[in-house]
Amino acid sequence: MNTTSSPPQSGMESSTRTGADLLCETLLSQGIDHCFANPGTSEMHFVAALDRQPGMRCILGLSEGVVTGAADGYARMADKPACTLLHTGPGLANGLANLHNARRAFTPMVNIVGDHASLHAAFDAPLASDIEGLAWPMSHWVGRSSSPDSLGELAAEAVQQARTAPGRIATLILPADHAWSSTDTAAPPARGKPQPIAPQDSALAAAAQALQQPGALLLIAGAALREEGLKLAARISAHTGAKLLTQQANARVERGLGRVAIDRVPYVVDQALAKLKGTRRLVLVGAKAPVGFFAYPGKPSSMLPPDCEVITAAAPDEDLLAALHELAARVGAAADAHLPLLAQRADQKQALPLPSGALTAAAVAQSVVVQMPEQAVICDEMVSSGREFFPMSWYAAPHDYLQITGGAIGIGIPLATGAAIAAPGRKVINLQADGSAMYTLQALWTQARERLDVVTVIFSNRRYAILHGEYASVGAGAPGANAQRLFDIQDPALDWTLLARGMGVAAERADSAERFNDLLAAALQQRGPFLIEAVI
């Protein structure tokens, strides 16, 4: 949509019902009652409207990467969108990296981006920029109000877009004068949640046939990674002999004892190629055929064997549970079939002790796996430190597992913040690489402000450890002086206990496994945010 000018409006009394009020009422009527925000002057009337809506919970983030990352974490756990409030083009720009992650996670989200009053646009004021141009690369839908009256239908459409399966980023641009001008237009009634597209019979038939042939692999993602979908997929796998995997990165997986211990495609190219070797028929349910996270000289982009056939049983925007039910029926997997993937791992729970001795990334992972409470929410932005955690977490108490999905670092602390707001009463544990943590450390303040029950574990290796590995992987040899200066974040070392306390979050440092075990036990026992700097 394009800007359309509207006649200048005079100042409004605070008792006047404005376009901003219509927008807020519509968000609430469509089921959005959380607003993650960092407003500016052009959003003051929207803030005034929020003031008149006690049913809308407003959460301040001290930078926009916090705002969009928290809205992502909220939606992954609430299974419905939050809205964000962002200040003009630069405010949106600061939030784009975590919108990129949310887009890759298929997270539903509605961004409200304030803009200058429509008649002010011609004056190219200092904050003016091409908001649509900034929004489109990270949005599935972008709209701009044409008048105050238009805000009801436009906001309802934005929410419907966000809720369209599997989840979309909708960005609504709000000129200040449309927010501040009066309107009598009523908020539209609640619209039903859009239903996912039904899977195609021909696709299911082809998939069912492929699953029963040699070299079949069932790759699932999205809604299929909740308990019901995982069980269906495990039954299909057990019955047909097809392998079962999920993608390298997923928005949310239900994991732990008594659930299906699904494995994933490895990040490292050679490991992924080895894992997928021999695959002749790849059946996708909500997943994408595996590709290298990056390209490397002399290595392929696709992780599949060259002769592998790819069969899409259900695309991400289709009804994945329906597809799995149908596939299970078509391959003859009985409802009560034995689930080896589930039982096999549960037996080994007793084998995993608390770690001792030197603190390593693996020791941290092991301590978390052993100690995490039932129904914990794990947020994983461990990057290179975290490759030990996922296989071990088969043995953990039942939990939800949330990952960085788009590779834009700086999501972990915000993601945990939003997840904790959506899931009160559940312990959120954020496993967090130090380099990535620095991108959006401001989210710790929001955790303190909102008294959120989050334990942040910083893997403090004082380097972008992944870049040391990647430098070698691309064939660049040993890092020299300039490379070292760009890869290492010591000199000075970051003191995460001071950084956390500076934002009101209690924090301690661990440099042995025993100390880490004790600190984690204490942190899990108390309520409210706590940070552990694990020096590894």
CB-count burial class (<10 Å; 0-12, 13-18, 19+) for 42 = buried
For residue 42, give both structure tokens: 């052009």
| CA gap 83, 61 in Å, rounded | 13
491 binds a copy of itself (CB under 8 A): yes
Selected binder of a copy of itself within 324, 408, 431, 519 (CB under 8 A): 408
Express the helix, strand and coil content of the chain in percent, nearest 5 each: 45, 20, 40
- Please, what sign has the CA dihedral across residues 336, 337, 342, 348? positive
State the nearest-atom distance from the C-beta of 509 to a copy of itself, in Å.
12
373 binds a copy of itself (CB under 8 A): no
Describe the strand order of the beta sheet including 216-220 as a list of residue ranges: 263-264, 243-246, 216-220, 281-285, 309-314
Site track for a copy of itself across 289-308, x = CB under 8 A = --xxxxxxxx--xx------
State the nearest-atom distance from the C-beta of 125 to a copy of itself, in Å.
5
Given the complex with a copy of itself, which of 63 and 240 has the nearer CB atom? 63
For residue 139, give both structure tokens: 């949005």
- Beta carbons within 10 angstroms of residue 89's beta carbon: 21
Helix or strand or coil: residue 304? coil
Selected binder of a copy of itself within 23, 75, 96, 331 (CB under 8 A): 96
State the nearest-atom distance from the C-beta of 293 to a copy of itself, in Å.
6
Site track for a copy of itself across 157-196, x = CB under 8 A = -------------------xx--x----------------
Per residue, the 3-state secondary structure of 75-108, as one string, reads HHHHCCCEEEEEEHHHHHHHHHHHHHHHHHHCCC
Site track for a copy of itself across 376-405, x = CB under 8 A = -----------------------------x
State the nearest-atom distance from the C-beta of 497 to a copy of itself, in Å.
8
509 binds a copy of itself (CB under 8 A): no
Nearby residues of 202 by Cβ (< 8 Å), 6 or more positions away: none
Q: Which residues within the stretch 414-453 sit at the binding site for a copy of itself (CB under 8 A)? A: 435, 438-439, 441-442, 445, 448-449
47 binds a copy of itself (CB under 8 A): yes
Given the complex with a copy of itself, which of 175 and 215 has the nearer CB atom? 175
Given the complex with a copy of itself, which of 243 and 267 has the nearer CB atom? 267
Q: Which residues within the stretch 247-276 sit at the binding site for a copy of itself (CB under 8 A)? A: 249
123 binds a copy of itself (CB under 8 A): yes
| CA gap 58, 67 in Å, rounded | 11
| CA gap 87, 85 in Å, rounded | 7
Given the complex with a copy of itself, which of 62 and 346 has the nearer CB atom? 62
Given the complex with a copy of itself, which of 38 and 456 has the nearer CB atom? 38
Q: Which residues within the stretch 25-44 sit at the binding site for a copy of itself (CB under 8 A)? A: 37-42, 44
State the nearest-atom distance from the C-beta of 104 to a copy of itself, in Å.
6
| CA gap 513, 354 in Å, rounded | 8
Chain position carrying tokens 């962002």: 86
Q: Are 102 and 169 in contact (CB under 8 A)?
A: yes
List the one residue out of 121, 120, 123, 147 whose CA is nearest residue 132.
Answer: 121
Selected binder of a copy of itself within 34, 76, 116, 163 (CB under 8 A): 116
